[in-house]
Structure 1
Amino acid sequence: MITQLKKVFPILLLLPLFFLKAQEKKEDSLSVPEAKSFVTKHEIINGGKTIRYMATASETYLKNEKDKPVASIWSVAYTQEGISDLTKRPVTFIFNGGPGSASVWLHMGMFGPQLVKVNSDALKDDGAAPYNLITNKNGLLDLTDLVFIDPVGTGYSRVVGKGKVEQFWGLNEDAASIAKFMRQWITENNRWLSPKYIAGESFGTTRAAAVANALEKGGQNMALNGLILISQALDYAGSTSVHDNITSYLTYLPSMAATAWYHKKTGQGKELKAFLNEARDFTYNVYSPALYKGSLLSDNEKNELAEKLSYFTGLNKDYILKSDLRILMPRFQKQLLLDRGLAVGRLDGRFMGDEVDKVSETPHLGDPADYQISSAYTASLNHYFADKLKIKMDHPYITSNDSIGNKWRWRPVPDGKFWEPSAVNVARKLAETMKRNTEMKVFVASGYYDLICPFFDAEYTFSRNGISRERVKMGYYEAGHMMYTHEPDFLKLSIDIREFLSN
C-alpha cells in the first residue's frame, strides 16, 4: 500500500500544475492581440481638385457589457488631410451585402481610389491574372471621406476573445454591430457634427435601412443625412423567386423583358425604355389580376396571357403554359438562350455561361456574372492592400463567406416575442426613420438587367410602406446588380451619386 502511494504521490503533485497549464492555455486561446493599424498617405485628383488624403486600414474592437473585446471589425478609411473645419466635411460609410460579403466590390469597383477594370460589355471571362488596376479619376474624395466596413466573418473581421458568431450573424445583431462601429469611429475621429451617409449594395441596402434605424437607439441617437442604396433589397417578397410567391412573379417580369430585349429575343425595333414601359403597364394592369384569379382563368384568357408573356420574355408559349403562367427566375436563366446552350447571369443578365449540362432545369455552374469577375476583384484587392496600403495580416481576406448565410438569423424580433415567419422587410423601418429624421434623403440605383434585385421591385417597394417619396430619387442603368462593371453606367452612377451628395 505504501509502495503504491509512493508511485501515485508524484502524480498528485503534478496534477495542479497540469490544470494550471491547461487553464493558461485556455486563457491564451481567448487572449486578444493588439489591434493592427496601417497608415499611408496619398494624393489623387477627384472633381478637378488635387486631394491629399490618409488611408487608415485598421482593426476596431467591439466590446461587450463587461468591457471585453468580442469582435474585430476591419475597415479602410480614406480621410482628406488639411481640413480645418471637420463639421463641413461629410463622411460616407460603405459596405456590401450577402450576408457574407466583404466590401471588396464597392471598394474595388466603384468608390475606392484604385479600381479593377473588368470586361465592360460582359462578353468574356476576365480569366486569370494579371488584371488591370486604374486610378479612380471619377472618385468622390473631393466631396466626402470614405470608410469601407467589413462585417464580422468577412474580410479580416472576426470574433475575438469570448465572442461568438451568433452575436453578429443575424438581421438585428448585424445592424447593432455596424451601428456600434460607426459610433466608435465617429467618436474617435471627432466627427459627430460632420454630415453622415451610408452606401450599401444588395443585402447592404437591407443593412443600411436597419442600421439607420438602430442608430436612433442605444442612448446615442445619430441622425444620417442620406442613404445610397445600390440594387436595393428592402422587401424580400419582391426579390425571392420561389413557387407561390405572387409578388415575385410580378416584380421580376420587367427585368426578364429587359434581358430578353438585350439578347435580341424580343422587343426588337423598340427602344428599351419604351419596351419596359409596356412591361410595367402589362404587369400592373393585366398580369397582376390574372395571377390572383389563378385557375379561375378561362382557357382563352390563359392562351392570351401566355402569348403576351412570350412577347415580353422571349420564351416559348407552350413552355409558359406548362409553367402555369408563372416563370421562376432560375428557369428563365436557362431557358432564354437554350438554343445556344448558354445560361444568363443572375446578378447581371448580360453575362452568359457555357453550361456543361445543356438540359439542366436551372444553371448548375453558378452565376456567370459572379464567377467571371470575382477572381479579378479578389486578386486586385489583395495586391492593392499589400502594394499601396502596406497591409500585412496573418490571416486571409475573405471576400465571400458562404457559411454566414447558412447560419444567418433572420428573426426581426427578440426571443420570447411572438413572430410568425414572413419575408424580410425593412422598408417600413426606413419609412419610420425618414418620418423621424425629416432631413434624410435616399438615392436608389437599379440596373435593368439585375435578375436578383429587380428594378421594378424598387419601384414597387418605394411606392408602398409609407416611405416619403418626395425625398427619394431613383436612378436606372443599362447593366445589372453591379452596374458599375459597365463603363458607361459607372460614369453615370458616379455623376448621379456626386449630384446626390452635392445637393
Structure 2
Amino acid sequence: MSARHLALAVAIAAALLPISAFAAKPEAKPGAHATNIDHYWAMPHTSATTGEVTINGKHIDYTADTGTIILHDKQGKPTGEMFYVAYIKRGVDAAKRPISFLYNGGPGSSSVWLHMGAFGPVRVVTDSHIHTPPAPYRLVNNDYSLLNASDLVFVDAMGTGYSRILGKAEGGVGTPKMFYGVDPDGQAFAQFISNFLSQYGRWNSPKYLIGESYGTTRNAVLANILEQQDNIDLNGVVMMSSILNFDTSIDQPNLNPGINLPYALALPSYAAIAWYHKALANPPATLHPWLDQVQTWAMGPYLQALNEGAALPVAQEDAIARQMATYTGLPERYVLRADLRVTGPEFEQTLLLPRGETTGRLDARFSGPTMDPLAESAMYDPQSAAISSAYTAAFNDYVRKTLKFGGKHTYKIVSNTVGNDWNLLHTPPGQTTPAYIATNVMPDLAAAMSYNPDLKVMVNAGYYDLATPYYAAWYQFEQLPMQRKLMHNIQFHYYHVGHMLYVRPQDLVKVHANIVKFIRSTDHEPATR
C-alpha cells in the first residue's frame, strides 16, 4: 500500500491535560549514550525515563526506554538502526511478563498511530469523526493502555520514525533493498526482536505481535520467520485491520480485470457505510442482521453475475444493478455505467457527491468537502486530513520533552520514499522464487500456525473500513491453507468504526478488553503479572 493507504488512529478526550503534564523524569541508565545529539546516530543509544499511568482505575509505574538497536548483515557489518520505545512495568519480575511488539504498516508508516492513539500510556486527543481543530493539541492519560496486560515495544520500520539505514557514509553497508520489501522487512523485524530479547533478558517472556494494516501482512511473514528460522514460539498474534492477500484489495481491482472477488468482498462495507450516512432509500432500523443478508447476496447472485462477464443477460444485469443500488445507496445508472464494478476510491467520491462531500477511505464515517466534483475517484482521504496533524505535533513534542530523545533529528511519521521503493514480491514458504505478483502472505501465517499449533490469532476489523474491508479479512482467514482444526485458534472481533479500531470511546473500551482477555488467555501464568 502507498503512503495514502497508511493506517491512522484517533483518540477521544476524557480528562484533558497539556502535553507538558506528561513530562517524565530522566532515569540514569548505565552505559546509555547521549540522546540529544546532532550528528547522525551510528551506535546504539537509549534514553531511560520513568512514568505512570492509570488503567481501569489501577495505578501502574513504568520505565520508558527510548532508543535504537543496530542491525547487521551475515558478516557482522552494520546495516541499519531500528528505533523503538519500550514501556516496561516496574515492581514486577519482567523476565516472565508478557511482551508485545507493536507496529503500523503503510508500507512507510511509523508506529505513532498505535502508540499515541491506542495502546501507549498516553494518547493524543482528536475528534472521533470530524476534522480536529489545529494546535495546540493535548494528551490524556490512556485508561486503555495495554500496559496492564503486557510490556509494550513500539517499533518503527526502517526508513520511518527514527529508524535509519546505515550506508557507507555512516560506516555501514546498508541499502534500501535490504529493508524495503515484504521479505527483507520481515527479516529486519525478526533480527530486531531477537536482539531485543537478548538485550532485555526477555527470552522466557510470553511473546505477542500486534500489527495494524500492512502491519498484519508483516505479522504473517514475521511470525513464520520467528517460528521456523529463529525457533521463537509466539503466544499470540493480534491483527488490527487485516490484509494478507492484496488480490482482494478494493483500491484498484480494475487494474486486475477478470478477478471479481474484491468487488463482492467490499460490497458489505459499502452497504454499512451507506447505512451509516443515511444514504439508503429504505434503510433497515439496525445494521444487523441486515448486513448478513448483504453478505449472502454479495457472494451469491452478485459475484455470480460478475463472473458471467459479457455473457450476463441484460435483464439480469439490470436486476443486479437495482439490488446493488438498494444495498449501497449508489445511483442505479452509475452502477450500470461502472459495469457493476465500483472501486473503493470511486465509492468514496460518489456516495455523498450530491451533498458535496467525499467519504474517508480509512474510516468512511469521516467526510470532507469534495475537491473535484468531476473526478472519478476521491482526491484525498478526509479521515487522514482530520487527524494527521494532531499525531505529528503531539508525538514530536512528547518524544523530546517526555522521552528525552530525538534532539534536532526529523521523526518521519510517514515516508513516501519507503512506500514508493517497496518491493511487493514475496517468496512464500517452500518456494525459492517469488510466486505471486500481488503480495499474498496467507501461506506464511498458515505455516507458522502449523509449525506452532499452540499459536493463537486474534482478528479485529471495522465495518466502515475501505482500506482493508472487514469481509475481505474474514474471507482470507477462512481460506488459510492449513488443517481445519487449526481454525479454532483464530478468533474474530468486529467494531462500528473504520480502520482505526480505537476511534470512539466505546470501541476503544472493547478493543482494550478483548486484547487483554486474549493475552491473558494465552499467557499460562498471568495471575502474578
TM-score of the pair, normalised by structure 2: 0.86
Structure with greater contact order relative to length (CA < 8 Å, sep ≥ 6):
2
What's the CA shift for 1:162? Answer: 2.2
Deviates more, 1:141-150 or 1:284-293: 284-293
Residue 227 of structure 2 aligns to a residue in which SS? coil
Residue 148 of structure 2 aligns to a residue in which SS? coil
Quick one: which of 80, 83, 104 aligns to 1:71? 80
What's the CA shift for 1:477? Answer: 0.7
| Letter of the 1:407 counterpart | D
Q: Deviations over 1:422-473 (max 9, x none)?
A: 3211112111111111111111110100011000001111111235321111
Q: Is the 8 A contact 1:99 1:404 kept in 2?
A: yes
Please list, as runs of the form range in 1=range in 2, the aligned pairs for 1:123-202 lying within 5 A after superposition: 124-160=130-166, 161-202=172-213
Measure the CA separation in 2 of the matches of 1:356 and 1:335. 12
Please list, as runs of the form range in 1=range in 2, the aligned pairs for 1:278-427 lying within 5 A after superposition: 278-364=293-379, 366-413=380-427, 417-419=432-434, 421-427=436-442
Measure the CA separation in 2 of the matches of 1:308 and 1:46. 47
Q: Is the 8 A contact 1:47 1:139 kept in 2?
A: no
What's the CA shift for 1:82? Answer: 2.2
| Letter of the 2:517 counterpart | E
Measure the CA separation in 2 of the matches of 1:432 and 1:53. 36
Q: Is the 8 A contact 2:51 2:63 kept in 1?
A: yes
- Distance change in 2, residues 1:177/1:452 (3 Å): same
Q: Is the 8 A contact 2:462 2:499 kept in 1?
A: yes
What's the CA shift for 1:200? Answer: 0.2
Measure the CA separation in 1 of the matches of 2:261 and 2:73. 41
What's the CA shift for 1:64? Answer: 1.7
Tell me what 1:490 maps to. 508
Percent sequence identity is 38
Within the alignment, does 1:223 sit opposite 2:223 as a pair? no
| Letter of the 2:59 counterpart | T
- Distance change in 2, residues 1:497/1:85 (3 Å): closer
Q: Is the 8 A contact 1:55 1:79 kept in 2?
A: yes
Quick one: which of 410, 432, 452 aligns to 2:467? 452
Deviates more, 1:224-233 or 1:275-284: 275-284
Within the alignment, does 1:442 sit opposite 2:453 as a pair? no
Measure the CA separation in 1 of the matches of 2:250 and 2:321. 22
Gaps spanning 5+ residues in structure 2: where?
1-38, 167-171, 522-529
Tell me what 1:431 maps to. 446
- Distance change in 2, residues 1:420/1:263 (3 Å): same
Tell me what 1:49 maps to. 58
Measure the CA separation in 1 of the matches of 2:145 and 2:109. 22
| Letter of the 1:395 counterpart | H
Count of aligned pairs between the two proteins? 468
Q: Is the 8 A contact 1:237 1:424 kept in 2?
A: yes
Residue 188 of structure 2 aligns to a residue in which SS? helix
- Distance change in 2, residues 1:63/1:128 (3 Å): same
Measure the CA separation in 2 of the matches of 1:230 and 1:72. 26
Residue 368 of structure 2 aligns to a residue in which SS? strand
Q: Is the 8 A contact 1:229 1:442 kept in 2?
A: yes
Q: Is the 8 A contact 1:342 1:353 kept in 2?
A: yes
Q: Is the 8 A contact 2:426 2:435 kept in 1?
A: no
**Max radius of gyration: which structure?**
1
| Letter of the 2:460 counterpart | A
Measure the CA separation in 2 of the matches of 1:32 and 1:156. 10
Tell me what 2:111 maps to. 103
Tell me what 1:254 maps to. 268
| Letter of the 1:140 counterpart | L
Please list, as runs of the form range in 1=range in 2, the aligned pairs for 1:19-30 lying within 5 A after superposition: none
Measure the CA separation in 1 of the matches of 2:327 and 2:304. 17
Q: Is the 8 A contact 1:117 1:485 kept in 2?
A: no
Residue 444 of structure 1 aligns to a residue in which SS? strand
| Letter of the 1:187 counterpart | S
Q: Is the 8 A contact 1:62 1:180 kept in 2?
A: yes
Deviates more, 1:420-429 or 1:400-409: 420-429
Measure the CA separation in 2 of the matches of 1:478 and 1:185. 36
- Distance change in 2, residues 1:283/1:73 (3 Å): same
Tell me what 1:13 maps to. none
| Letter of the 1:356 counterpart | M
What's the CA shift for 1:398? Answer: 0.3
Measure the CA separation in 1 of the matches of 2:290 and 2:344. 20
Measure the CA separation in 2 of the matches of 1:177 and 1:170. 10
Measure the CA separation in 2 of the matches of 1:345 and 1:475. 22
CA RMSD of aligned residues (A): 1.7
Measure the CA separation in 2 of the matches of 1:188 and 1:268. 57
What's the CA shift for 1:421? Answer: 4.2
Tell me what 1:274 maps to. 289
- Distance change in 2, residues 1:132/1:275 (3 Å): farther
Measure the CA separation in 1 of the matches of 2:214 and 2:238. 13
Tell me what 1:37 maps to. 46
Residue 65 of structure 1 aligns to a residue in which SS? coil
Measure the CA separation in 2 of the matches of 1:178 and 1:472. 23
Tell me what 2:245 maps to. 235
Q: Is the 8 A contact 2:265 2:299 kept in 1?
A: no
TM-score of the pair, normalised by structure 1: 0.90
- Distance change in 2, residues 1:283/1:354 (3 Å): same
What's the CA shift for 1:74? Answer: 0.2
What's the CA shift for 1:97? Answer: 0.1
| Letter of the 1:55 counterpart | A
